[in-house]
Structure 1
Amino acid sequence: MQRNLVKRRLRAAALGQLSVLPSSARAVVRALPPSADATYADLDRDLDACLRRAVTRASGDGKR
Structure 2
Amino acid sequence: MLPRAHRLTAGGDFRRATREGRRAGCTTLVVHLLVTPGTDPARVGFVVSKAVGNAVTRNRVQRRLRHLAREHLASLPGSAVLVVRALPPAAVASYAELGADLDRCLGRVSA
TM category (shorter chain) comes to 0.7 to 0.9
In structure 2, the partner of 1:2 is: 57
Find runs of 4+ consecutive structure 1 residues off by over 3 angstroms: none
Q: How many residues align?
A: 56
Give the letter for the 2:78 counterpart.
S
The Cα shift of 1:8 comes to 0.2
The Cα shift of 1:17 comes to 1.4
Q: How does 1:16-31 map to 2 (within 5 A)?
A: 16-31=71-86
Distance in 2 of aligned mates of 1:28 and 1:19: 16
Q: TM-score scaled to structure 2, two decimals? A: 0.48
Distance in 2 of aligned mates of 1:48 and 1:20: 11
Q: Which has more helix, going by share of residues?
A: 1
Distance in 1 of aligned mates of 2:68 and 2:94: 11
Q: TM-score scaled to structure 1, two decimals? A: 0.80
In structure 2, the partner of 1:40 is: 95
Q: Deviations over 1:19-57 (max 9, x none)?
A: 33112211100001110000111111100110111010x
In structure 2, the partner of 1:12 is: 67
